[in-house]
Amino acid sequence: MQAAVAAVSRTGAKFISGGTNLLDLMKLEIERPTHLVDISRLPLKQVDDLPDGGIRIGAQAANSAVAAHARVRALYPALSEALLAGASGQLRNKASIGGNLLQRTRCPYFYDTAAACNKRDPGAGCAALGGFNRIHAVLGASDACIATHPSDMAVAMSALEARIELLSRDRSTRCVAIDDFYRLPGSTPHIDTVWQPGELITAVILPPPPPGGQRYRKVRDRASYEFALVSVAAVIATDRETITAARVAFGGVAHKPWRSFEAEAALRGRLATLTTYEAAADVAMRSAVGRGQNDFKIVLAKRTLCRTLADAAQIAAERPS
Ligand code: SF4
C-alpha cells in the first residue's frame, strides 16, 4: 500500500481501481493523469467484524460484493439497498467502494468541455445556473455551482455514520466522518472532498448498527441504471409507536449526501404517524431553493422522506425485540 502511495506522489499521477468514472473523464480529457497507479489488487477487499460490533469494509471491495455480504445485509440493510440501487450489475461488479466515494458529479455541463463549468475549470462560470438544471441541487448550493453528488452508497453511509480511513504518503492514517469528508461547493466547487492528493482510501468503518428499521429509497427517471432525482436513507426506532431515535440523509438534492439533523430532531419523541413525517419533511426542506426546472425536487424529497420513514418504522415494528 505504501508503495502505491509513493508511486502516486509523482506530479499528475492518479490512482485507478474499477475506472468506472475515471476512464469516462479521461476519454473526455477532463482528467489527464500523467501516470495511473493500479490499486485494484491491493489486499483491501475484506469485510471484517470489529470488536465494538461494527464492520470495516476494505476500500477495494466491489460494490456488488459488499451489497451481497451477509453481515451487511443483516446489520446495514440500507447500505445494501443503496448499493443495489446504483448503476448496473456490470458496473457494480467493477466499481470499488473507495472509487464510489470519490466519483464526480453527473452534471451534464461538467462533461461538456464546450460549456462553462467552475468545477471543471475554476472561474469559468456555471452553465447550469441559466441552463438545464432539472437534476441539480436544491440545498446547500452556491452561485458558483449547483451540482449534486451522485453516489447512492454515500447517502446510506451518511445515515449510518460511516468514517473514511485514509493513508497518506507520510505513512500516517486518519479517519474522517463521512459528513465531514464531503464539501459544499461555496466558491471552490472544484474541490469535492477533504481528500488530499496522494491519500489512499483504505477502508470505510461502520459503527455498530443503530437500533430500529432501515430503508433506502431512490426515485429516478427510469427503473435502473440511472442517478437519483431524490433519494432517502432513513433509520427509525420506536417504542410503542413513539419514535425514540431517527436518522435521515438525502441524496440527489445537494453537493454532498445531505444529513438532516433538523428532521431527526423533529421526529424524536413524536408518534410514528404521517403527520409527524410530514412535519419533519417540511423542516428538512425549509432552506431548499429551486431553480425553476428543479422545483419539483422539493416536493419529491418531502414525499420520499415520508414514504421511507413509514417503511423503516414498519420494519422496526416487525423486528423481534
Ligand atoms: Fe459545473 Fe457545477 Fe455549474 Fe455543473 S453546476 S456546470 S458542475 S459549476
User: Phi and psi (nearest 5°) for 245?
Assistant: -155, 150
- How high is the pLDDT of residue 319? 80
- How high is the pLDDT of residue 9? 84
Which value, to the nearest 10 degrees, does the dihedral of the CA atoms of residues 95, 103, 170, 162 take? -80
DSSP 3-state of 266: helix
Say how many Å lie between the CA of residue 195 and the centre of ligand 1: 20
- How high is the pLDDT of residue 10? 82
Residue 120 to residue 143: CA distance in whole angstroms: 15
- How high is the pLDDT of residue 151? 98
- Whether ligand 1 lies within 6 angstroms of the CB of 66 is answered as no
8 Å CB contact between 250 and 230: yes
Strands 258-259 and 242-251: antiparallel
pLDDT tens per residue across all 321 residues of the chain: 889 999 998 889 999 999 999 999 999 999 999 999 999 999 999 999 999 999 999 999 999 999 999 999 999 999 999 999 999 999 999 999 999 999 999 999 999 999 999 999 999 999 999 999 999 999 999 999 999 999 999 999 999 999 999 999 899 999 999 999 999 999 999 999 999 988 999 999 999 999 999 999 999 999 999 999 999 999 999 999 999 999 999 999 999 999 999 999 999 999 999 999 999 999 999 999 999 999 999 999 999 999 999 999 999 999 866
Say how many Å lie between the CA of residue 137 and the centre of ligand 1: 10
Q: What is the number of the ligand 1 atom nearest to the C-alpha of 144?
A: 8
- Whether ligand 1 lies within 6 angstroms of the CB of 119 is answered as yes
Residue 159 to residue 107: CA distance in whole angstroms: 24
- How high is the pLDDT of residue 179? 98
- How high is the pLDDT of residue 11? 82
User: Phi and psi (nearest 5°) for 184?
Assistant: -85, 160
- How high is the pLDDT of residue 321? 60
Select from 104, 105, 184, 191 the residue to mutate for testing ligand 1; criterion: most ligand atoms less than 8 Å from CB.
105
Which grid cell sits at 27?
476519454
Answering whether pTM is above 0.75, one says yes
Say how many Å lie between the CA of residue 7 and the centre of ligand 1: 31
8 Å CB contact between 147 and 119: yes
Q: Is the Cα dihedral 233, 237, 240, 244 positive or negative?
A: negative
CA-nearest residue for atom 3, ligand 1, is 126
Strands 163-167 and 200-206: antiparallel
pLDDT in tens, 79-97: 999 999 999 999 999 999 9
- Whether ligand 1 lies within 6 angstroms of the CB of 254 is answered as no
Say how many Å lie between the CA of residue 302 and the centre of ligand 1: 25
- Whether ligand 1 lies within 6 angstroms of the CB of 294 is answered as no
